[in-house]
A = this chain, B = another copy of it.
Amino acid sequence: MEAGQDPRPKNMRRQRHTQHQIQEMEAFFTKCPRPNVKQRKELSRELGLEPLQVKFWFQNKRTQMKTRHEHHVHTQLRNENEKLRADNMMYREALGRASCPNCDGPTAIREIAVAAMEELIRMAQMGEPLWMTSLDGNTTVFNEDEYIRTFPRVAPKPNNHFKCEASRESTVVTMNHINLAMAELAYGLEWALAQGPFFIKKKKI
């Protein structure tokens, strides 16, 4: 095996391929990133490199390309993320501001939700006047008159039968905190639902 004019003792590195060698291999790489033995031998002959060096170069080049591509995707992902976040914010605001084509007022969904939530919190934090402990100590009775007095913005006892039904159900609940919370939630939701007709009255045709 007559050597290719540079039989270095193996493991001894010859630093940096020349610009020309790199350009040639780069050009080949764009057409064929994974040359076979023949192509590599041909290239090594043309460029004055050992076949093994050519093999190494292509291997390293492939990994380099891979990492660069990943980096590119990375920045792209960052941008997309930014945009999605902005879109999300816009949608969130749009939901609060959304106007309904059936009438020309804004939907009050958000307002209702916020108000109901506040009411629930306040109801939960209240004690004896609103939530009366029964004599046996096992149940808590909801004082509806007190409720109407405390939250006067609600139309007093609307005639909606759904509301009456539900409110009667939540009037007596067990002491269990979860049930209590659910009862409050039900009442708050009823109130929110009951706003429907109220708002409709406000609407101008």
Residues of A within 8 A of B (CB): 11-13, 67, 70-71, 73-74, 77-78, 80-81, 84-85, 87-88, 91-92, 94-95, 98-105, 107-109, 112, 195-196, 199-200, 202-203, 205
Contact = CB atoms under 8 A, between A and B. Distances in A.
Nearest to A199: B101
Contact of A67 (B67, B80, B101, B105): B67
Across chains A and B, which 3 residue pairs bring their CB atoms closest together, nearest first?
A: A100-B100, A91-B91, A84-B84
A195 B104 CA distance: 11
Specify which of A91, A99, A105 lies most central, judged by the most chain B CB atoms within 10 Å of its CB: A91
Given A84-B81, A84-B88, A91-B91, A196 B107 contact: no
18 contacts: A11-B11, A74-B74, A77-B77, A81-B81, A88-B88, A98-B100, A98-B107, A99-B107, A100-B100, A100-B109, A101-B107, A101-B109, A101-B196, A102-B102, A102-B108, A103-B203, A107-B107, A205-B205
Given A85-B84, A103-B103, A92 B91 contact: yes
A196 B103 CA distance: 7
B88 A200 contact: no
A162 to B, nearest CB: 14
Contact of A102 (B13, B84, B105): B105
A192 B74 CA distance: 39
Nearest to A77: B77
A200 B205 contact: yes
A36 B169 CA distance: 63
Given A81-B84, A91-B91, A91-B95, 6 more contacts: A11-B12, A70-B74, A73-B74, A99-B107, A100-B103, A102-B103
Specify which of A12, A85, A100 lies most central, judged by the most chain B CB atoms within 10 Å of its CB: A100
A102 B203 CA distance: 6
